[in-house]
Structures are given as structure tokens and as C-alpha cells.
Amino acid sequence: MTEQQRPERVNASSDSEEPATLRDRTLVEDLLLLLFQPSSGRQGDAGNIAGETTLYWVLAGAVLAELGLRGHVRTGTTRIGTMTVEAVADNPPSDDLLRSSWEYVARTSRSVQTVLAATGPALREPVLDRLVERGDLHRRTRKALGLFQTSVLQQGDTGRRDGLLAEVRAVLVDGAEPTERTAALTALLYGSGTLPQFDRDIPWTSPVIARAEELKDGNWGAEAAAKAVARTVTATIVNNVIVAAAVLPRG
């Protein structure tokens, strides 16, 4: 990719944002919280984020999926058949994190992968900040090797992550019919390639994989039948996340 072809990156942060506790939770927050693996770090109760190598694709996909679910964007097609994302001009999101991606799309319709590449790199830190503000995660500073200050993440005591994990498990393992948000969250989690790391809570079995594939393709059940556009947008985004992550060089 040349510098001329490389999409500009979008700044996802805003100094004017209200506290996270006063905002509705977004899909990207719930996804990053689920990807946090408690007690997976070297320092006891510290944890790590699963799938760091492809994380920005997945987070950007979650933002686009949210915009689709809320009717802020729709998909289109170029003359040569490339799928694009278009902003719904009279329906901008109020959430600053979502709005920055919406504004990027509002300038002109873009391919899904272009939007993922442009908006994803700026998302990790502001989304983590929100989770810390809400108390879902704690950020601690410790000394490494007795000399260097290092920042670690720990699970908070809100119970939010456990609740999300239970919802995803119910859909994938117990056959529960998902809400639109749970379906999108589960599809994105599967698209991230990290679902095998949840094997202790969600067995990595053939029936689970088959159910995850259904959700990835937009087969969400009767409860979501009224929002076919949202399903189509989310399925398109998740499939593009999978494609983008598959070709990304591994570090």
C-alpha cells in the first residue's frame, strides 16, 4: 500500500466527552471487555487483551456494527461490486467515539476494509479509558524487575464481563435466541479469532463453531427479523474483519 493509497487515520478521542458512567455502553466497549483475559498476565491478578495483533480491525468492526445497528450507516455497492459503507446523513450518532467513525464515512462512501484500517488504530486506548472509568477494569502501576514502572490491567468488580460472557455462552452452547446486540457481539468475538481462548467457559466444539458461523453470516433468529438491514451490515462488517485479519502480517 502506497502513501497515496493509505487512508488517513481518525482520532477517536475527544476532550469534550461526558463521563463514561453517563453514556450508554457501546458494542466496542463490551467487545474489548470480553477480550480482556483476567489473570492471564505474568503478575498474578493482572490480565491481557486477547488478539492484540488484529485488535484494531475488530474494534473498528464493532464500531461500524454499532453504527449499523443504530441506523447511522448502511451498506452500498460500487459499479464493480465492491461493498461500501455510507453514512445516513440525517442520523448522526451522539456518542463521540461512534461519531468520529461516522464522520469519516460521511465525507464519502468507503469500502469496509478502508474504514477498518483508517478508524481502528485510534480506538484501543479511548475504549480502555471508558472501561476504566466505568469500573469494569482497573489500571494499576507496578514496578517491573524492581526498576521500571509498568501499567497492568485488572478486572473490576462491576460484574459486567461475567454477564456478557454468560450471554454469549447461552447463545453458543445452550442454543438461546440472541438479542441483536448479543448476536453482533458474538459474531465479532468469533471474527476476532480469539474464541478458542474462551474454551474453559465456552467449549470449542463443532456445534459451537457451527452456531458462531450462523451468527457471523447474519442468521440471528426470529427476534432480529425486523432489522434485516442491521443484520446485513453487521454480517458484511464481520466478514470483512475476518478477511482483513487473515491477511494481516503476524508479529
Q: Which three cell numbers stand for residue 120?
A: 481502528
* pLDDT one-digit tens code per residue, 126-150: 999 999 999 999 988 766 656 667 7
Q: In the structure, what pLDDT confidence band is assigned to residue 163 with cuts at 50, 70 and 90?
A: very high
Residue 107 is predicted with a pLDDT of 93
Rounded to whole angstroms, the Cα distance separating 89 from 73 reads: 9
Please classify residue 169 by burial: count the beta carbons closer than 10 Å to its beta carbon, then call 0-12 exposed, 13-18 middle and 19+ buried: middle
As beta bridge partners, residue 139 has 153
Nearest CA to 231 out of 170, 167, 178 is that of: 178
In this model, does residue 216 exceed pLDDT 90?
A: no
Residue 120 is predicted with a pLDDT of 94
Rounded to whole angstroms, the Cα distance separating 56 from 130 reads: 16
Q: What is the pTM of this model?
A: 0.86
Percent of the chain residues topping a pLDDT of 90: 51
Residue 4 is predicted with a pLDDT of 38
* pLDDT one-digit tens code per residue, 45-76: 678 999 998 899 999 999 999 998 899 998 88
In the predicted model, what is the mean pLDDT of residues 94-103? 95
Q: How remote is the C-alpha of 121 from its chain's centroid?
A: 12
In this model, does residue 250 exceed pLDDT 80?
A: no
Q: How remote is the C-alpha of 18 from its chain's centroid?
A: 21
* pLDDT one-digit tens code per residue, 200-214: 899 999 999 999 999
Distances 174 to 165, 169, 180, 193, 224 between C-alpha atoms, Å: 13, 7, 17, 21, 18
In the predicted model, what is the mean pLDDT of residues 38-44? 64
In the predicted model, what is the mean pLDDT of residues 178-198? 91
Choice between 53 and 87, residue whose per-residue pLDDT is larger: 87
Question: Taking all residues of the chain, what is their mean pLDDT, rounded to a whole number?
Answer: 84
In the predicted model, what is the mean pLDDT of residues 10-38? 78
